[in-house]
C-alpha cells in the first residue's frame, strides 16, 4: 500500500477556460493511499467529530440526517459552481 503524499504546486489556468472545464484544473494534493496508522488516526478523528456533531444536534433538537440532506441539496443546486 502506497503512502499518501502532499505535492503542493501552482497550476497554470488558461484565461479563456469555461466554468465547466475549470474543475479539471483543481485537484487534490494527496496522491496514493493512507498508511494503516494514518488511516486509523483519521477514522478516529472523524468518529470523534461525528459523535460531537450528533451530540450537539441532540441538545439543540436538530435532526442530523435532515441537515445532511439540506446541505446535499444546496451542493446539488450549485452544480458546476461547486468546485469541491
**pTM as predicted:** 0.57
User: What pLDDT was estimated at residue 2?
Assistant: 54
Q: What is the dihedral of CA 39, 41, 46, 52, to 10 degrees?
A: 160
Residue the block writes with cell 433538537? 61
User: What pLDDT was estimated at residue 59?
Assistant: 98
Range of the domain at 10: 5-81
pLDDT tens sequence across 19-74? 777 777 776 666 678 889 989 999 999 999 999 999 999 999 999 999 999 988 88
User: What pLDDT was estimated at residue 45?
Assistant: 98
Number of structural domains (the chain) is 1
Are the C-beta atoms of residues 75 and 82 closer than 8 Å to each other? Answer: yes
- Give the side-chain half-sphere CA count within 13 A for 10: 3
Number of Cβ within a 10 Å radius of residue 84: 6
Amino acid at each position: 500500500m502506497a503512502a499518501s503524499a502532499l505535492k503542493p504546486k501552482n497550476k497554470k489556468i488558461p484565461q479563456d477556460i469555461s466554468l465547466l472545464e475549470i474543475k479539471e484544473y483543481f485537484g487534490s494534493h494527496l496522491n496514493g493511499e493512507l498508511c494503516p496508522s494514518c488511516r486509523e488516526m483519521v477514522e478516529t478523528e472523524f468518529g470523534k467529530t461525528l459523535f460531537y456533531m450528533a451530540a450537539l444536534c441532540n441538545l439543540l433538537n436538530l435532526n442530523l440526517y435532515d441537515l445532511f440532506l439540506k446541505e446535499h441539496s444546496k451542493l446539488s443546486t450549485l452544480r458546476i459552481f461547486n468546485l469541491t
